Each structure stands twice: as C-alpha cells, then as structure tokens.
C-alpha cells in the first residue's frame, strides 16, 4: 500500500495544471511486489484534487485544496495569516480508521510570536505540550497532544519579512474529518 500511496502523492501536485472541472485524470491498479494489490484514482475539481487508494485492507483518501482540511479541535488559523495549502488524509481500514491534516500558512509575524500563540491556544484547548523549541526567533517547533490522543506538530520558519508554517495533525479531531479553513 505504501508504494500505491507514494505513486498517488507523486501524481497529486501535477494535477494543479489541469483545467478541467470534476474530472478523473488517472486511474489504475498496482502490486507492491509483496502480494498487496490495489487500485487508485485521481480526480481534479474546482475544489482541489483527490486521490483514493483501495486495497483489501481498506481505503485511503488524500484531498488537497483550499478547504480540504481544517485546523485541529480547539485551534484556529493564526490571526492575519494566509492559508497556502490544505491537505486531508483519511484511512478507513475497518477497525482503526485514522486521519491526518497538513495545513501551511504564511504570516507577517516572526516564528516566536506564532509559536507562543499556538502554545497558549493549545493549552487552553486542553492539549499537553510535548516539545517546544524556539531557535533565537529564527525558527520554532511545537508538538502537542490532547487527552483523546490527537496531536499536532507545528514547524515555523522565517520567510522574507514574515514566517511560513506547517501544521501536521493526526488522530480524532485532527482536522481531516471535513472541510473548512479556520476551525
């Protein structure tokens, strides 16, 4: 399944050039060489791109687009930031379906200020800070989990006069459950 997911992830960015609406642009099957077989489909629409991978063990869905993922439970998009990328990953394997979200955004503020905002917000929302590193105001990393087992890692680095950040969330309430940009 990993080989199928890798293939699908490679196809996802290439879809940005497609101008057709609600159009399936690729479909196929794969064999990972270890006996795992499956199929995949790649679709492009006005709302973004989608890859669906099916095997006997379950279905994985990867969606990318402005509204593909939302912020994890209790968190919001940093005030004044611009969302630059949104990807939701859902895995339904029949017994322990999991979800993940990857959101990237840009801000005019420095990394340390953004990290402090998310630390404060996460603590208020019931998260426990697992790891925090602020490197002289030039970069920051924050990892937190909540009592339900969901968590996130936020990586922030300088970009021009501001910052760029990537938030990766996983588990229940991770933001991959549905669309929406801010919460």
Per DSSP, the residues of 14-77 read HGGG---SSEEEEEEEEE-SSS-EEEEEEEEETTEEEEEEEETTEEEEEEESTTS--PPTT--P
Distance between CA atoms of residues 94 and 20, nearest Å: 33
Distance between CA atoms of residues 102 and 91, nearest Å: 15
Domain with 169 in it: 65-176
Domains contained in the chain, number = 2
CA distance to 5, 146, 158, per residue, from 93 (Å) = 14, 23, 39
Check whether residue 91 and residue 148 sit in a common domain. Answer: yes
Give per-residue pLDDT as tens, 62-116: 888 877 888 888 999 999 999 999 998 888 765 556 688 999 999 999 999 999 9
Domain-located, residue 127: yes
For 73, the token pair is: 């439970």
For 140, the token pair is: 């920051």
pLDDT for the residue numbered 183: 39
Check whether residue 71 and residue 126 sit in a common domain. Answer: yes
Domain-located, residue 182: no
Check whether residue 77 and residue 167 sit in a common domain. Answer: yes
Of the two residues 143 and 19, the one the predictor is more confident about is: 143
CATH of the domain at 88: 3.30.160.110
Check whether residue 29 and residue 117 sit in a common domain. Answer: no
Check whether residue 72 and residue 53 sit in a common domain. Answer: no
Of the two residues 118 and 56, the one the predictor is more confident about is: 118
| Secondary structure element (H or E) that encloses residue 156, with its range | strand 151-159
Of 62, 85, 110, the last residue of a domain is: 62
Give per-residue pLDDT as tens, 7-58: 444 454 544 444 446 688 889 999 988 888 999 999 888 778 888 999 888 8
Of 62, 78, 110, the last residue of a domain is: 62
Check whether residue 155 and residue 126 sit in a common domain. Answer: yes
Domain-located, residue 13: yes
């Amino acid at each position: 399944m990993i080989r199928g997911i890798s293939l699908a992830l490679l196809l996802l960015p290439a879809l940005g050039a497609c101008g057709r609406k609600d159009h399936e642009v690729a479909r196929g099957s794969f064999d990972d060489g270890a006996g795992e077989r499956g199929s995949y489909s790649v679709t492009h629409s006005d709302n973004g791109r989608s890859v669906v991978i099916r095997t006997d063990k379950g279905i994985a869905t990867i969606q990318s687009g402005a509204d593909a993922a939302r912020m994890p439970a209790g968190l919001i998009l940093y005030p004044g930031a611009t969302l630059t990328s949104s990807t939701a990953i859902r895995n339904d394997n029949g017994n322990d379906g999991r979800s993940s979200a990857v959101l990237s955004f840009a801000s005019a503020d420095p990394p340390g200020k953004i990290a402090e905002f998310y630390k404060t917000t996460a603590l208020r929302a019931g998260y426990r800070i697992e790891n925090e590193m602020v490197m002289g105001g030039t970069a920051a990393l924050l990892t937190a989990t909540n009592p339900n087992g969901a968590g996130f890692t936020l990586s922030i680095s300088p970009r021009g006069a501001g910052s760029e950040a990537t938030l990766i969330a996983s588990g229940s309430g991770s933001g991959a459950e549905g669309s929406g940009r801010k919460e």
